[in-house]
Amino acid sequence: MKFRTMVFDFDGTIADTLGETRLIYNQLAPEYGLRQIDEHELDHLRHLSLKQLLSHLSIPKRRVPALISRGTGLMRGNIHRLQPIEGMADVLVELRRHTHSFGILTSNASSNVDVFLRAHGLRDHFDFISSTSKLTGKSKHLKAIRKTFSLHHGEMLYIGDELRDIKASKRAGIPIAAVTWGFNSRASLAAERPEYLFEQPSDFLRLLTPM
C-alpha cells in the first residue's frame, strides 16, 4: 500500500458516538442557554458544514471550547461502553499490517480514546493519539504529524467523517478518505471531492490492491 501512515478521526469514524454526543449536548444545552437537538433533526444536520451547524443551533463560537471540554469530560464515564462502528475493528487490524505507522487525530480527549481502544483490544495498533480542542485546528496537527514521520504528502492518509476533516486535509495537502457512516451525509462529503469516499469499512481494503 502506498500510504506509510494512516491517521484516523475518532468520533463517528472509528467509534459509534453520534447518539452519545447528542445526549451529552442536550444535557449541557440548558446550562449554556442553547436549545436541545431532537432526534428527527439529525438527518438535516448531517448536510451542514461546521459554520452552518453552529449558526443553525445558534451556538456562539466563543462557547465551542467550553462545550467540547465539558462534553468530553461527560463522555469519559461511558466511553468504555460505546462500540466501534460495525466492521471497523477487523479492518483496522488488517490495515495495520500494511502500514508503517497508525495514529488518531481527534477533537475528543486523548484519555477517552485511550480507554475506548483498550476496552476493545485495539490500543496496541496505534502509535499515537493526538487531540485538538479547536474544531478547525486539525490541519496544523496533520502537517506536524507528517513532519514528525518525515513523510511526503502522498505517503500519509487522513480518514474522517466530517466536512471539516476534508477541509483540514486539503489545507494540509494530505489525501483524505471520507467515510459516510459518521456525522456528515454522503452527498455533502462527495461535494467536497475527497480522494476516497467509503460507504462501509470493508471498502478500506481496496487500498491494499494495487491500482
Query: Helix, strand, coil: what percent of the chain each, to 5?
Result: 50, 15, 35
The pLDDT of residue 210:
63
The pLDDT of residue 132:
87
Q: Do the beta carbons of residue 178 and residue 27 sit within 8 Å?
A: no
The pLDDT of residue 151:
93
The pLDDT of residue 184:
96
Exposed, middle or buried by CB within 10 Å (0-12, 13-18, 19+), for 54? middle
Give the other-Cβ count within 10 Å of 147's Cβ: 9
The pLDDT of residue 48:
95
Predicted TM-score (pTM) of this structure: 0.93
CATH code matching the domain that covers 1-211, chosen among 3.40.50.720, 3.40.50.1000, 3.30.70.100, 3.20.10.10: 3.40.50.1000
pLDDT < 50: residue spans in the chain: none
List strand residue ranges (DSSP E) for the chain, in order: 5-8, 101-106, 128-131, 156-160, 176-179, 196-198
Q: Do the beta carbons of residue 174 and residue 147 sit within 8 Å?
A: no
In sequence order, the 6+-apart residues with CB closer than 8 A to the CB of 185 are 43, 46, 47
Give the three-state DSSP class for 5.
strand
Domain ranges of the chain: 1-211
The pLDDT of residue 209:
76
